[in-house]
Amino acid sequence: MQPVRLTRLTLRQMVYFEAVARHRHFGRAAEACAVSQPALSVQIQELERELGVSLVERNRGGVTLTPQGEYVLQRVRRILGEVQDLMDCATQIEGFGPIRLGVIPTIAPYLMPAILEAFGLENASMQLQVRETQTHRLIEELEQGNIDLMLAALPISSPVIEVQPLFRDRFFLVAPADSKIGPRIDSVAAIGHYRLLLLEEGHCLREQALSVCSMADKDMLASLGATSLATLIELVAAGMGVTLLPELCLPSLHGDQRVRVVPFRGPAPFRTIGLAWRKTSGRKAVFRRLGELIAEAGRPRKGAQSKRSPIH
């Protein structure tokens, strides 16, 4: 084994660089790290000097990473994630530390109450902390160790992340109660003159809905900047169009006479829900058990549209 060359690289420098890369702005990165901007800039310069490459380019709008900076960022996030895993292992020796779970917004409101209840009953001594944000942000936070695992729609692509598929969540069309759309539809193209309302850019559910609608007329699609499924439902109830909703959220429509749920005829399109964690994590057994609890919580309760398909 070759001897390790001593270096002056520090975790502080890596944390500061990751913050600059995430915020694309020195001022906001310094604020996030609770340090002054000059102090943060000095640490970035020291990191560049030690590595012998330029990592960032300053411009009027903020910060752009160089090609070398993009490469170093991937390695830095991996290192920070593994450091967090080391700390988790030490915590496990002393006792049970909290589990930080990231969840996407199109799952959290509909599944988290059941997950928290089931987890609390089985792990009374362990705390589950929940963070809700979009998929791309959760992947970044998982890679760098800011969360321990994430619950989202698959695929989740990262060389440092391990994925456990849990269940399939089918799509249904939701239309105004007085719409002329039939009791079942063969495809989204059958919605006639209605506009298809979608979430704003950045939500993975928008991309999944677009893939379902690949054969639909582009003029049918409408993005109104909605950030939640609850907003989409209100827009549909107001007669502004129709939308595609995952089966998970259908219980929230129970008793709402303003809208109706229209299933697909034959095999319905679906998204696959999965749990993901870092490959280097020392708590995989706990995470896999949590995945089993989530899969159980994700099964439709009495009165749901139909039986959701688990992943075996």
- Say which CATH number the domain at 103 has: 3.40.190.10
User: Considering the domain boundaries, does residue 311 fall inside one?
Assistant: no
- Residue range(s) defining the domain that contains residue 192: 169-270
pLDDT at res. 193: 79
45 and 114 together in one domain:
no
Domain edge (last residue) among 26, 53, 77: 77
262 and 175 together in one domain:
yes
67 and 101 together in one domain:
no
162 and 231 together in one domain:
no
Cβ atoms of 287 and 277 closer than 8 Å = yes
d(CA 12, CA 42): 11
183 and 256 together in one domain:
yes
173 and 227 together in one domain:
yes
User: Considering the domain boundaries, does residue 302 fall inside one?
Assistant: no
Q: Which of helix, strand or coil describes residue 129?
A: strand
User: Considering the domain boundaries, does residue 181 fall inside one?
Assistant: yes
132 and 246 together in one domain:
no
Residue 71 sits in a domain whose CATH number is 1.10.10.10
Domain count of the chain? Answer: 3
User: Considering the domain boundaries, does residue 59 fall inside one?
Assistant: yes
Q: Which of helix, strand or coil describes residue 283?
A: coil
95 and 70 together in one domain:
no
Task: Supply the DSSP string of 21-74, one letter for each residue.
Answer: HHHT-HHHHHHHHTS-HHHHHHHHHHHHHHHTS--EEEETTEEEE-HHHHHHHH
* Per-residue pLDDT tens listing for the chain (312 residues): 555 555 778 889 999 999 999 889 999 999 989 889 999 999 999 999 989 899 999 887 788 999 999 999 988 988 888 887 777 665 554 445 789 999 999 999 999 999 998 888 887 777 889 999 999 999 989 988 889 999 999 999 888 899 999 999 999 999 999 998 989 998 877 777 788 888 887 788 888 887 877 645 555 666 566 788 999 999 999 999 999 999 999 999 988 999 999 999 988 899 999 999 998 887 888 899 999 999 988 876 544 454 455 554
User: Considering the domain boundaries, does residue 1 fall inside one?
Assistant: no
132 and 281 together in one domain:
yes
Domain edge (last residue) among 77, 102, 129: 77
Find, among 249, 224, 237, 243, the residue nearest to 304 by Cα.
Answer: 249
177 and 153 together in one domain:
no
d(CA 53, CA 68): 7
58 and 148 together in one domain:
no
User: Considering the domain boundaries, does residue 153 fall inside one?
Assistant: yes
Q: Which residue type, as a one-letter code, is found at position 59? A: N
Report CA 16 to chain centroid distance, whole Å.
Answer: 23
The reply to whether omega before 67 is within 30° of 0 (cis) is no
